[in-house]
Chain A
Amino acid sequence: MSTIKLENAGFVYQKGMPDEKVAVSGVSLTFEEGDFIGIIGHTGSGKSTLIQMLNGLLRPTSGHVYIDGDDIWDDRSKLREKRFKVGLVLQYPEYQLFEETVRKDIAFGPKNLGLSEEEINSRVAEAADFLKIPEKLLDRSPFDLSGGEKRRAAIAGVLAMRPEVLVLDEPTAGLDPRGRREILDVISNYHKAEKKTIILVSHSMDDVARYASKVLVMNAGGVFYYDTVDEVFKHALELRETGLNIPTVTDILLTLKERGMDVDTDIYTPARAAQTVTQYFKEVEAR
């Protein structure tokens, strides 16, 4: 189990060059173990940059990143070890596939961990099972798969390493609704079954509202909100004002309120929304 702590972390691309670009600045927060954290924010708000600092792919240009209390950049020789704790699935991870067969590709990570042959095989089988990759696909070339299958194979490659913290950068980008749901369910199951920390970057507030327990809202490289889902969506109006998506049901309730219906708006699940609306109508009828 691992906690990740950021202390005043910032990252500047092309530092010192005329075209330097501040992507993240002054972020201090803790990702507690066992949480399911959703990260949202505009495109270019620094989400991908932030998560690449979590496993030492990017070295913060200011501040520190701690995993279980150790600054990951203190000892370069231990960096790789830290990387095994924090599994990162990058945006469009399909391009990481390279082996002759899907099976071998999923085994790449576990092999780097230095596991035994048997352990590797069982990890591959387990990860494939988790991601619902059928046995017959395992012996195909990863380049012959469909887009959605490639995506699942790539995620399986990280999952097979059984990271303490699983970080995913928009794992559902470019998939159809069914593909999205399948992948998110897999992640949610991993979270529940293994009690691991999940950090999920997403553009969909609905997905975040549905799966996450905490939400980090990023804006212009900084933290806008970082709190439980309930608390953050209490600020739905502010979120909407900054131009961010909010869960569809919250959006509907806010609009109803603006039109003069006195309904509760701190709601982000369809079930509760339906409840409030029916209750409202009952009250109206009673009057």
Chain B
Amino acid sequence: MRDITLGQYINGDSVIHRLDPRIRLILTLVYIILLFILKTIPQMLLALALILGAYALVRIPVKMLLKSLKPIIPIVVFTSVLNMFFVNGDVIFSFWKLSVTRQGLYYAVMLSLRVICLLAGSSLLTYTSTPIELTSALELLFMPLTKIGLPVNDLAMMMTIALRFIPTLLEETDKIMAAQKSRGANLDTGTFMERIRALTPILIPLFVSAFRRADELALAMECRCYNGGEGRTRMNALKIRRSDCIAVVVFIGFCSLIVLSGRISL
């Protein structure tokens, strides 16, 4: 349960950790857009280098990145193979009824690189931002929408609470599983239906405790006179500093270079 690395914050004090979360969020979006603009493999490799450079700054072991890439490998392989065989173009070699084309191969490599960069980029965001930072960033970025009646404050509070309880619930699931396994619950073998049924002893205590926690939290919030997020101030107010501006300039610079490098090689 605890091996889920995607979306897990890693404590640190790198340049990237110190950025304003809004900047981190926006730069990640810029990077994702960049990935969809790029058309050639060399450019894609540069984009990969860029994100790996960022990982080096944060000092996250490559092993960890690879681990979070693992679940998507089958998808990447599958779509790459499809691309390889089904894109029309100059045939490199063929066997039976299938033929691999140069263009197909090119698309396949592009696609894999794109997916890898996409995951690496978005993981970097969650590795370096606590869920609280992310929701604050989203809240502030979406604040203008309160004008059209969207309850941004409340939505942000709901999201903060939900995110806050993910690790707690995971931990609780771990504990409950341990307890039921100790009583001989068989979670790993059996037919599909048997396995579904084997989940009851885990889900029921989990729901019971989740509802209990929700009750307690609501009570605690009411006791402290919480009445909606309107006008709530922050303990750590977000502020754009000079380092944030420098980061934006440097990052946009790199991105532009990568885009322009495509022009040159053409």
Contacts and interface: CB of A to CB of B under 8 A. Distances in A.
Interface residues of B, number: 27
Interface of A: 14, 16-19, 52, 55, 57, 80, 83-84, 87-90, 93, 95-98, 108-109, 112-113, 143, 157-158, 161
Interface stretch (B31-39, B107-115, B200-208, B229-237): B200-208
User: Which 3 interchain pairs have the tightest Cβ spacing?
Assistant: A112-B184, A96-B179, A109-B183
A192 B63 CA distance: 52
B63 A112 contact: no
A19 B11 CA distance: 8
Given A14-B2, A18-B61, A95 B205 contact: yes
A162 to B, nearest CB: 12
Contact of A109 (B64, B184, B200, B205): B184
B184 A83 contact: yes
Interface stretch (B83-91, B170-178, B243-251): B170-178
B86 to A, nearest CB: 39
A19 B63 CA distance: 14
A14 to B, nearest CB: 7
A260 B181 CA distance: 54
A87 B10 contact: no
A281 B205 CA distance: 58
Interface string B1-32: 01000000011100000000000000000000
Contacts, number: 68
Interface in B176-208: 176, 178-186, 200-202, 204-205, 208
B194 to A, nearest CB: 12
B209 interface: yes
A95 B175 contact: yes
A19 to B, nearest CB: 7
Contacts of B61: 16, 18
B204 A19 contact: no
B181 A57 contact: yes
B182 A19 contact: no
Contacts of A84: 184
Given A14-B2, A143-B208, A95 B172 contact: yes
Nearest to A112: B184
Given A96-B205, A98-B204, A88 B176 contact: no
A98 B200 CA distance: 8
A161 B180 CA distance: 13
B2 A83 contact: no
Contacts of A89: 182
